[in-house]
Chain A
Amino acid sequence: MFVKSYKITEPGCFEIFVEDIKEDNVLVRPEYLAICKADIRYYLGNRSRTVLKRKFPMSLVHEGIGIIARDNGGKFKAGQRVVMVPCEIAECDGSKCEKCVRTYDYLQDNYCPKSSFRSSNADGFSKEMINVKADYLLPIPDGIGEEAVFSELISVGCCALRRAGLWGEKVKEISVWGDGIMGYIIALVAHYGLGAKVNVIGINREKLRLFDFATVYLASDISSLPQTAVCIEAVGGNAAAQAINQAIDATLSGGTIVLCGVSGENAPVNTRMILEKGLALLGSTRSNVGDFEKAISLLQIDDFRERILRLIEGVDVVDDIRKYYEAFENASRSDSLGKRIIKLVF
């Protein structure tokens, strides 16, 4: 079947591709998409030339929901709305690795060397139709609208807390560094998913005002910040080092710091204090199907969903490549907490 897609062929340049795709799994029509910082890095060329050369041409965007066009396996009905999981694993019996990462609860699919991730080492969702294994699709319950496009980000938050061994535990208090969308969502997940009191540390007073479910602190003034057993860094970029070092200071001895931000350069961190306090630093990125299931459960909580809805700054109907460029230009320039989402029409 002929399917159209937008693919990035070099930084700042998209082309329309028409491809004859396989139909051996479930066919899904991507409907609502959200552009992520990782997509913007490709668009702006903020990765090494070698990496870009290896990945391009590639369809971008890994946050999306779609509509089932056809499922020969019978699990889904045509017209059903689904969340599309971007991390997939090829058929694998685990025999090639010493121990399969999927057997470790704290690792799982997103750390499997055989896994592919859309808009990273596989085509993303900027396509008229995609061919997906049924296991990587989750039905969207009634009552949840296009805000389900944030399922991926919510699942990344769920993954971070799962990997830190916190999911299902009663957690009293957590501190989160970062006043961007990732910080907002991880703080929300910690609050509604774990029932924790959440402290958020950021630099932007306007954005911090939107964290009305948490106690907020300016990074320049955290003298009164309580010490917690778990701290989460969701800052990334060049400010990651400062945030990590503040988190090291603010974590109780024997505590855990979960790193979720993608740092710009190598971050110098205070290892002496890590040793003295016996801290564990845990990296977490992406998510798996189980994390998406948790995300969808959270979206069924009215207060949680209402706070996710606040992140939608508008919906742009993208029915030609010019509007696709505009969506990326706007996303590149945006410094706000939320996002404009794309309604994709081919």
Chain B
Amino acid sequence: MNIAVILAGGTGSRMGMVDKPKQFIDIYGKPVVIHTIEAFEINENIDAICVICTKEWQEDLSIWIKEYDIRKVRWIGDAGKTRQESSLNALNAIRDDVKDDDIIIIHDSARPLISQRIINDNIEKVKECGACDTVIPAQDTIIRSVDGESLDSIPVRRELYLGQTPQSFRHSIVRKAYDDYFALPENERPVMTDDCGLVLASGAKIGMAMGDKLNMKMTTMEDLLLIKSIVRTSR
């Protein structure tokens, strides 16, 4: 079974005047999170979907799932305080229904332009490597600065990639990585910004699937406007 986990637990908004989390903002009459879920809903390789969001949005989410005839969502889980806690909650939510060999595809709800090719490539890469990150090659030179004032180094660009989502794993691999991480005392847990960081720390090998510039993350008001300008109403 291939299970998509959609992380929609963010509470902050950098969307200017809009007073709701970015994943619930409408783009052409439909919330961003639904656009994102739909990309997985219509993928023939995805069997079920788990959505993670804060308790206060779960009723809205359930209504939208009905309204937009989404049929693959089997679990709605609570958001955690951090991304890691949200992913852990997703793994706990699906725990009774998954096998070790099942594939878990974890995706940001704020990336609604995910393509079918990226989803399929993630699944294929996990079958090959056990874990997979979605990346695009860095095209600009990346500068490293610790103090934000002056350059420390300029890493070799051809070795650098920008991480996107989905990040996908065999269930047994991601489960072990999360169990190990949360077994540590809270003050000893290393700071991680994504699931792959955590799985990498557990010693697992992670393959790469090529992402897409269009698979951008909607973080700021500018991103929202950019996505709206890209999407055209169909003829």
A interface, CB within 8 angstroms of B: 1-4, 16-23, 27, 29, 67-70, 72, 78-79, 123, 128-129, 319, 345-346
Evaluate contact between B231 and A4: CB separation under 8 angstroms. Answer: no
Judged by a CB distance under 8 angstroms, whether B9 is at the interface is no
Judged by a CB distance under 8 angstroms, whether B115 is at the interface is yes
- B69 contact set on A, CB distance < 8 A: 23, 72
Interface residues of B in 39-75 (CB under 8 A from A): 39, 41-44, 69
A70 to B116, CA, bound (A): 14
Q: Which of B38, B39, B41, B214 has the most CB of A within 10 A?
A: B38
Evaluate contact between A2 and B35: CB separation under 8 angstroms. Answer: yes
Q: How many A-B residue pairs have CB under 8 A?
A: 61
Judged by a CB distance under 8 angstroms, whether B144 is at the interface is no
Evaluate contact between B35 and A1: CB separation under 8 angstroms. Answer: yes
Interface residues of B in 1-52 (CB under 8 A from A): 27-28, 30, 35, 38-39, 41-44
Judged by a CB distance under 8 angstroms, whether B233 is at the interface is yes
Q: Given B28, B30, B116, B230, which contacts A129 in the complex, CB threshold below 8 Å?
A: B116
| Chain B 171-210 interface mask (CB, 8 Å, partner A; 1/0) | 0000000000000000000000000000000000000000
Evaluate contact between B117 and A21: CB separation under 8 angstroms. Answer: no
A19 to B69, CA, bound (A): 19
Q: What band does the interface of chain B fall in when counting residues whose beta carbon is under 8 Å from A?
A: 20 to 34
A185 to B38, CA, bound (A): 40
- B39 contact set on A, CB distance < 8 A: 1-2
Report if A70-B117 is in contact (Cβ < 8 Å); known contacts: A1-B35, A20-B28, A21-B234. no
A22 to B233, CA, bound (A): 10
Evaluate contact between A18 and B232: CB separation under 8 angstroms. Answer: yes
Chain A nearest CB: distance from B179 CB in Å?
33
Evaluate contact between A69 and B234: CB separation under 8 angstroms. Answer: no
Evaluate contact between B232 and A68: CB separation under 8 angstroms. Answer: no
A126 to B165, CA, bound (A): 25
Evaluate contact between B35 and A346: CB separation under 8 angstroms. Answer: no
Chain B nearest CB: distance from A194 CB in Å?
38
A188 to B234, CA, bound (A): 39
A78 to B112, CA, bound (A): 22
Instruction: Name A69's closest neighbour in chain B (CB-CB).
Output: B42
Report if A79-B231 is in contact (Cβ < 8 Å); known contacts: A1-B38, A346-B115, A346-B116. no
Evaluate contact between A29 and B234: CB separation under 8 angstroms. Answer: no
Evaluate contact between B214 and A18: CB separation under 8 angstroms. Answer: yes
- B35 contact set on A, CB distance < 8 A: 1-2, 20
Chain A nearest CB: distance from B226 CB in Å?
11
Judged by a CB distance under 8 angstroms, whether B91 is at the interface is no
Instruction: Name B113's closest neighbour in chain A (CB-CB).
Output: A2
A19 to B113, CA, bound (A): 10
Evaluate contact between A27 and B42: CB separation under 8 angstroms. Answer: yes
Question: What are the 8 closest A-B residue pairs judged by CB atoms, nearest first?
Answer: A19-B234, A69-B42, A1-B38, A79-B44, A78-B44, A21-B234, A345-B117, A18-B231
Judged by a CB distance under 8 angstroms, whether B235 is at the interface is yes
Evaluate contact between A17 and B44: CB separation under 8 angstroms. Answer: no
Evaluate contact between B113 and A70: CB separation under 8 angstroms. Answer: no
A16 to B231, CA, bound (A): 10
A225 to B73, CA, bound (A): 67
Q: Given B41, B116, B214, B231, which contacts A20 in the complex, CB threshold below 8 Å?
A: B231
Q: Given B41, B44, B231, B235, which contacts A2 in the complex, CB threshold below 8 Å?
A: B231
Chain B nearest CB: distance from A344 CB in Å?
10
Report if A18-B116 is in contact (Cβ < 8 Å); known contacts: A67-B44, A129-B42. no
- B42 contact set on A, CB distance < 8 A: 1, 27, 29, 69-70, 129
Instruction: Name A1's closest neighbour in chain B (CB-CB).
Output: B38
- B232 contact set on A, CB distance < 8 A: 17-19
Evaluate contact between A346 and B117: CB separation under 8 angstroms. Answer: yes
Report if A29-B116 is in contact (Cβ < 8 Å); known contacts: A1-B42, A4-B214, A20-B28. yes
